[in-house]
Amino acid sequence: MNQIRIPLPRTCASSFILVLLGLLFLYPFPARSQDWQDQCEITIREIVADNSETGVASELEDVEKDLKKLAYSAYRLEHTYSKTVLKGETRKFDLMGDNHVELTLDGYEEGKIMLKVKISTGESGKRAFQSTIRIAEGGTFLIAGPSYMEGVLILAFTARL
């Protein structure tokens, strides 16, 4: 006797599509403009480089290759600062050796976070460096050079939405 069969394949296909959509939903797509909420989180790692020892701190593994391009034998992570910066807001970070960093969040352009970075030394700001940069979400860049004792300060900036 013939019996009406339930079209199982269609049910399976629907479930399968739902699973695929679920996976797509969970996929960590790069940040898009709609993720931009007029603010970002800036992390600054304050690194001291000198020749007193040898080695790179384990916390600096992600930038170790880059640091080794510099002519120092030791790289120590001294401090980590993390602050949320609103669009148009300027945040100041006081670093070792009377060095200061000022960060201004300018906005989000072409898929990148736009920051104004100012590094100055001493109250009078005898030495100063100011730059406007654009960095990808989660990206890191380094500014190195301000003197600190027998070595230099290296600042690793990371910006996240």
Partner 1 sequence: MADRKFELTEEIIQRYYDGEVHGQERSKIEEALAADPASEKKLARYGRVSELIQLVGEASEADEFTARRNWEEISARLEKKQSKIPRRAAYWLSLAAAAVLLLFFIGPFEKAQSNELVIESIDCTYASFMLIQPETETGHTIIWLSDSDNNVNQ
Q: What are phi and psi of 18, to 5 degrees?
A: -60, -40
| Nearest-angstrom CA–CA distance, 79 and 93 | 11
| Nearest-angstrom CA–CA distance, 9 and 155 | 58
What's 67's DSSP letter?
H
Closest C-alpha among 10, 16, 49 to residue 149: 49
- Is residue 117 a contact partner of residue 93, using CB atoms and an 8 Å limit? no
Task: State yes or no: residue 142 binds partner 1 (CB under 8 A).
Answer: yes
Task: State yes or no: residue 79 binds partner 1 (CB under 8 A).
Answer: no
Task: State yes or no: residue 42 binds partner 1 (CB under 8 A).
Answer: no
- Give whichever of 85 and 157 is closer to partner 1, judged by the CB atom: 157
Q: Which one of residues 16, 18, 88, 98 is an interface residue with partner 1 (CB under 8 A)? A: 16
Task: State yes or no: residue 68 binds partner 1 (CB under 8 A).
Answer: yes
Task: State yes or no: residue 57 binds partner 1 (CB under 8 A).
Answer: no
Interface positions with partner 1 (CB under 8 A): 2, 7, 9-10, 13, 16-17, 20, 23-24, 26-28, 30, 63, 65-66, 68-72, 112, 114, 119, 126-136, 138-146, 152, 156
